[in-house]
Every structure is written in C-alpha cells, then in structure tokens.
Amino acid sequence: ACPAPATHPTPFVGTRGGRKIAHVVADKARAFADGVTVFSGKVVLTYGTETVHAQRIRFNRRTNAFTAIGHVRVTNAQGGELRAHYLHMNRATGRGVARAVRFVLPGSNARGRAVMVILRSRHKSDIKDTRYTMCPEGTKVWYIDADRLHLNYTKDVGIATNARVYFHGVPIFYWPYLSFPISSKRKSGFLPPRYGTASNSGIMLSIPYYWNLAPNYDLTTTPEIMTRRGVLFRNHFRYLGLGYSGSDRIDYIPVDRVYGGPRYALHIAHNQVFNPYWWASINYNRVSDPAFYTDFSANFALASQIDLPQLGAVGYSGRHLRLQVTSSAYQLLDTSIGAAYKPYEELPGLFLNARGTAKPNRLHYRLKASAARFLGGGTPPADRLDLEPALSYPWRWPAGFITPRLAVRETDYWIAGQPTIHRTTPIASLSDGLVFERTLKGGGRQTLEPELSYLYVPYRNQQGIPFFDTAPAPFTYTNLFRTNSFFGPDRQVDANQLIAGLTTRLYSSTGRERLRASVGEIYYFHKPSIYATYQTRVLNRTSDLAAEAYARLSRHWYVRGSLAWNPNNDQTDEGDAYVEYSPKPNAIITVGHRYIRGVQEQVDVSLQWPVLTHWSTLVETSYSLMQSASLESYLGIQYNSCCWGLGFYVGKTLGLNNTQFTTAMFEFTLNGLGALGSAPVVPLSQHGFMLGY
C-alpha cells in the first residue's frame, strides 16, 4: 500500500519559538560580550517543538537570531523536515533564509530540493529554483521543476510559478501558474481535469473547479468542452445547516451545435427537519429535452431514466400519527411509451396513518386514509378519498402467532367535482404461523417458519375507475401476503384464497443473518375476477410458486435469487439470480441473470480483478438474450503505483429511445497533483456491490 502522507499541515520550519528558551548542546561554545555565542561540533539547538542540528550555530541572544552552517537539519513535532547547508533564522520576526535545501512538506507527501528558501513569516515561505515530487521515498518517476514555489499554510495552498512537469525525465507539461493543496482540508482549487471522447459529443475536456465558499456550503463548477457540441457548464451546489441539507445541480449549455440551441438540466434536492416531529423535502428535476441525459451522461443510471420526479412533501411523524401532504408530478422522457400516455399528477395528495398500540396480545386499531386530486391523463381533474380502518388482534406466543384482521375499505371518486364512483369492500383475513428452531454446531441457529393466511374480499365492479396511481404488483414472495395484489387504491382485488408460505433463516452465533429462503403459493377457493391484464396466464386453482433466497455463504460468496414457477406446465414465468465472489477488497466477480417470460431475458457479468502488483482489469457487460444485443458493456485497464496512475476505459451504452453511444476515457494521474483524464462513473460500482458484512 502507499505510505500515507503526514497529516498535520504545519510549516516545515517552525518559527513560533520567538519567546521560547533555547537549549543548546555542543562540543564547544565561545560566548562573546555582545550576546553572541558560537557553538561547534555536532550542535543541537532545540526550542519549543523545533530542533536544529548543525555542525556550527552562531546564536545572537540580543537579536534572537541564529545562523546554522553545515549539514543543517530542522525537524518539528508535526513531521516537517528541512535539510540545508546554510540557514539563518530570526526567531522574533519568523523571517529566515536557507540555502541548498532538501524539504518534506507534511500533509501532502511533497518532497524536493531547492537552491534557496525564504521564510517570510510564521506561515509563509518561498522556495526558489526547486525540484519537487509527490512520489513516496525512493521513487522519482515524475517531478516538477519550478522557478518559485510559494507555500501559504494559513490558506493551505502551494503555488508554483513556471512549473515544468517531467515524467521519467521527459518534460510533459508546463504551467505558468499551478496551485495545489498542501493539506487535506477542503480548499478551493482545481480538481483533477477529465479528458475523453464520446461518439455523440466528440473529444471532451472538463476542468472542475471547487469553491470552498464556507464550512457548510460549497460549489463545484465544471466547464465541459466538447468538440462537437460546445461548452456545457455543470454546477453542483451543496449546503448543510442545522436540521436542513440540500444538493442542487444546474447543467446548462448555451448553444449545443448538434442539437442546435440551448439545453439545460435541473436537479434540486432539499431535506429539512423543523423539529422532532415536522419535516419537509423537495426533489425537483427538469430537463430542456428528453435526450439531455442520454447525450451528456456517461452515467448509465441517468441515461436510462424514464420519468423525472418533481416531488414536494411536508410531513408530521409522531409515534401514533403519521401525516404527509405531497405534490407529485413527473416529466416523461421515454417517448416510446406512446404519445397518448401522459402520467397523472397528484396535486396535492394527503396521506394519514394512525395506529394504536403495537404491543402483542392486545386489540390493535389502525386507520390508513388518503385524499388526492389527480390532474392530466386526458381526463378532467378527479378527486379521490380512500379510507381503510382496520381492527386486528395479534395473538403471539414464543412459538407462533394467530392474527385475525377485519378492515373496511371505503373509496369515493369525484370527477370534475361530481361524485361518480363509490366502492366499499370489507377485507377479512386470518393469518397464523409457527416458528421451529434448532441450534447448529458452532453456535448458529436455524429457523423454519410455516405460515398460512386466509383472505376474503368480495367482488366489486371497478371497471369505470381509471388507473390514477395504481398498477399490479409483480408476482414475488413478498407480495403474496398483500391484502390487495395491486399497488394503489384504484383496484381492490376480490379474493377467497389461502396463502401458504415457508421461510427458513440461518443465523451465525453473533446473530448475523447468513441465509433467508422462502417459498409460497396461493390456493384459490374462488378465482379472482380482477387481475392484471398482463397476467395472461390463465389463473388455475393454484398460483405460481413464488420463491426467493438471499445467502452470504462465506466471507467471499454472496448469492441472491427469486423465482415464479408454474407447477402446472412446469414453466418458469419470472426469475432472477445473482452470484458474487469477492476474495479480496479490490477483486470481485459478479454474474446476474434476469428472465420474464416473453418480455425480457438479460445476463450481466462484471469483473474487477488485480493483475500483477499495480495493474487491475475492469470488465462489465449486460447482454439481452431476447434482443441478442448488448445493452451496455465496459472494458477498463488500470495501472496505479503510489506515485502515478494510468487508466483507460472504453464503453458502449444503450441510452433511452434506442440511442447507442460509445465512450472512451483516458486518465493519467500524478498522485497528489490530480488526474489528467477522466474515469467515468464505472457502472460496475452500481452493479457489483460490496456488502458491508
């Protein structure tokens, strides 16, 4: 691993010792009447936390200055060090001069040589004709020659003038003016520039600049110069206060030559807590045109967004009462969904959730209520009131539970102010379960939890109700036990069915859940007459079998999967599986497979593996078997020694509306000085995930 830089950013030659008593040890001393004493022979002068070693030191008590000559070495308690042939220091004023200097800057691992160092004050020093590098001891793969290097420790900035960068002795860069942080503290300044090419934007160079405006807010502006399009200004403003925080992004390109005109993207996120009970949040996004993210983002997640949320919410979170007032709207980006479809907007929506005690073996009452006004979707404004009071009695004992529950769902609609549809349905359920346990050798425990639940909901004709915010729930184990197989109140499924489930869990001796596997099925006494149109499968007496499993087999293996299997025709209707193997922190291989009968089949493979000592490879691909086309693939090679790094990435991504774009990114980093190039947000970090076990 690379040596960590010394952490304390203090001047390598401390001069705070103005008042402090000086202690000297030497072989010989000659004191003169005028207050000057000359020490010689392995002289060691210490004051405060500084120590000066030299062959000869002339100390003037009256002017409080000293001159050290011959193998001068100055160190301070914070790891700063300076070696020189000659050093004159006025301790009262803090000014001094050193010649033939070799120095190490704490905080930034920078070390170098200089003809002369002028120590301006306690916190400022100028290094003349210097050659320095950030490479750790022993290696000098790259170094910088600069006429002048000014260090200001209060501002934590090093400024080099006429800096020439040499790499293996070859001059590769010249900066008339180069500033770099000399400490880890946040500091305004240039962040590593990024250089790359993308098929839809040409050659790109982006140079982020970070404004450390205040301890609790900062701004990063990144002009991104693209040869085919123009200059896109990305701005990211973050702020943090007592009880509130936020992050806003404003990307704006005055003229996009390919698009022919200005384009922008807006993202505003704000979260606030007024007091321990009241909170508010905003998540507002807007783009000038649907293709913005596919054109300007090598970021796989952004490029595949279908709708941009424009949400606002104010809420009260009490112990028994939860209240929320929201406004939800979305900007549609996926133009393929059909011109007629325009998402409803819920302006406003009121949600209320009140419940009594949650202690077991007691009568529980609960009220879920929502009132909403829906706009858009080609219909006049519609209002909806949905109330679901419920009574239940969770009877629990160590080995199981029995919970009878009775609820009545009352839903009323007003279209353009006129009451139209009214629906009242009782919902009755009785669920019970047992818990079997056994202790495993090694102290772990395994449970076996059978569960049985009966649900009865009478049929109500709901043909006339539009789907405002309701859609069928995918068929998974988690959704088996819902009292409504639709998300949202616009459909309440009729039911006369028995749901059976079996879950097993494996716990280690320290209580970590190592494995959870569940399987379940529904037996229909009476087939439901309301079910999702897409459920083209004829509903038989029994539903598909739904199974899912999560297992951390060992410290290195992780497996996750789910399945919907039709026992009648022995066909899998839906399933996904994911395997991850990670023997070392920076070595990981993951394989994923997803299948929805007739709709989608996709395989994802990703690999990040160290090769030799400093190299690592990066491969990631998602392949759609249904369309026999690669949705997205990346290849990367990285070299990183403690001193410098080189990375090369090439990728092809399918964006929205079947836009295909390829990107090639190149990154050359001189550690400590910033990267000359760009590493994209490697999609691997989104697919593969390092589990925090």
Partner 1 sequence: HTHQLAQPLSVRADNIQVDERTGMSVYLGHVRIVQDGLTVHADRVRVHSLHGHVLSIHARGTPLHMEDQKTGGLPLFGTALTLDFAAAPDEVTLTGHVVFHQGVNVLHGHIVHYYVRSQRITAVRGAHKRVRARIVPHSRAPQAGSGH
Partner 2 sequence: CGFHLRSAHEFALPASLSVLRVRMPSSGLKYPGLVLVVRHALEDRGVRIVDHRKAPTVVLGGEMMNPVVVTLNSNGGASAYLLDYAVTFSLVGPGGRLLMAPRTVRVQREYSFNPENVLAMAREQSYLERRMRLSAARQIVWALATYKGPPAVAAAPHKPHAP
Instruction: Report 322-381 residues binding partner 1 (CB under 8 A).
Output: none
One character per residue 76-95, x = contact with partner 1 (rule: CB under 8 A): ---------------xx---
CA-based nearest residue to 84, from 108, 64, 104? 104
* Residue with smaller CB distance to partner 2, 613 or 628: 628
> What's 300's DSSP letter?
H
Prior bond to 348 cis, omega within 30? yes
Contacted entry of partner 1, partner 2, none for residue 631, CB cut-off 5 to 8 Å set by kind: partner 2
Q: Which pairs with CB-CB distance under 8 Å and at least 24 residues apart come from 200-208? A: 200/228, 200/258, 200/295, 200/659, 200/661, 201/226, 201/227, 201/228, 201/229, 201/295, 201/296, 202/226, 202/227, 202/228, 202/229, 203/227, 204/678, 206/234, 206/678
User: Residues touching partner 2: how many (CB under 8 A)?
Assistant: 91
Residue 24, interface with partner 1 (CB under 8 A)? yes
Q: Binding partner 1 by CB under 8 A: which of 3, 4, 27, 569?
A: 27
Cα–Cα distance measured from residue 266 to residue 217, given in angstroms and rounded to the nearest whole number: 19
* Residue with smaller CB distance to partner 1, 22 or 74: 22
Contacted entry of partner 1, partner 2, none for residue 433, CB cut-off 5 to 8 Å set by kind: none
Q: Binding partner 2 by CB under 8 A: which of 125, 200, 201, 305?
A: 305
User: Residues touching partner 1: how many (CB under 8 A)?
Assistant: 27
Residues β-bridged to residue 151? 125, 158
Residue 570, interface with partner 1 (CB under 8 A)? no
Q: Binding partner 2 by CB under 8 A: which of 190, 277, 525, 557?
A: 277
CA angle, corner 414, sides to 408 and 418, nearest 5?
Answer: 135
Cα–Cα distance measured from residue 152 to residue 183, given in angstroms and rounded to the nearest whole number: 11
By the 10 Å C-beta count (0-12 exposed, 13-18 middle, 19+ buried), 29 is classed as middle
The answer to whether the CB of 203 falls within 8 A of the CB of 197 is yes
Q: Binding partner 1 by CB under 8 A: which of 6, 37, 364, 406?
A: 37
Q: Among 190-198, 215-223, 226-234, 428-436, which window interacts with partner 2 (CB under 8 A)?
A: 428-436
DSSP string covering 379-447, please? S--EEEEEEEEEEE--EEETTEEEEEEEEEEEEEEEETTEEEEEEEEEEEEEEEEE-EEEEPTTS-EEE
One character per residue 624-643, x = contact with partner 1 (rule: CB under 8 A): --------------------
Q: Binding partner 1 by CB under 8 A: which of 35, 171, 254, 567?
A: 35
Q: Indicate the helix (H) or strand (E) that contains 292.
A: helix 292-296
Q: Among 17-25, 71-79, 274-282, 625-633, which window interacts with partner 1 (CB under 8 A)?
A: 17-25
Instruction: Tell me the CA distances in angstroms from 188 to 9, 162, 178, one per residue in order.
Output: 16, 21, 13
Residues of span 251-270 touching partner 2 by CB under 8 A: none
Cα–Cα distance measured from residue 600 to residue 398, given in angstroms and rounded to the nearest whole number: 44
Q: Among 34-42, 323-331, 517-525, 649-657, which window interacts with partner 1 (CB under 8 A)?
A: 34-42
Residues of span 40-79 touching partner 1 by CB under 8 A: 41, 59, 61-64
Q: Among 22-30, 180-188, 427-435, 481-489, which window interacts with partner 1 (CB under 8 A)?
A: 22-30
Q: Label residues 105-132 b or e (16+ Cβ within 10 Å = b).
A: bbbbbbbbebebbebeebbbbbbbebbb
Residues of span 650-689 touching partner 2 by CB under 8 A: 654-659, 686-687, 689
Q: Binding partner 1 by CB under 8 A: which of 31, 255, 363, 690?
A: 31
Q: H helices within 590-660, ranges in order?
A: none
Neighbours of 158 (CB within 10 A): 23
* Residue with smaller CB distance to partner 1, 37 or 331: 37
Structure tokens at 633: 């693939």
Residue 216, interface with partner 2 (CB under 8 A)? no
CA 513 from centre of chain: 25
The owner of tokens 């019970």 is: 432
Contacted entry of partner 2, partner 1, none for residue 4, CB cut-off 5 to 8 Å set by kind: none
Least distance between partner 1 and beta carbon 33 (Å): 4
Contacted entry of partner 1, partner 2, none for residue 37, CB cut-off 5 to 8 Å set by kind: partner 1
Three-class secondary structure of residue 294 per DSSP: helix
Cα–Cα distance measured from residue 217 to residue 185, given in angstroms and rounded to the nearest whole number: 14
Residues of span 352-381 touching partner 2 by CB under 8 A: 358-360
Q: Binding partner 2 by CB under 8 A: which of 99, 148, 560, 652?
A: 560
Residues of span 463-522 touching partner 2 by CB under 8 A: 467-474, 476, 478, 487-488, 507, 509-513
Least distance between partner 1 and beta carbon 182 (Å): 29
Q: Binding partner 2 by CB under 8 A: which of 216, 439, 571, 662?
A: 439
CA-based nearest residue to 360, from 389, 387, 328, 394? 394
* Residue with smaller CB distance to partner 2, 589 or 646: 589
Residue 312, interface with partner 2 (CB under 8 A)? no
Q: Site residues (CB under 8 A) for partner 1? A: 18-19, 21-35, 37, 39, 41, 59, 61-64, 91-92
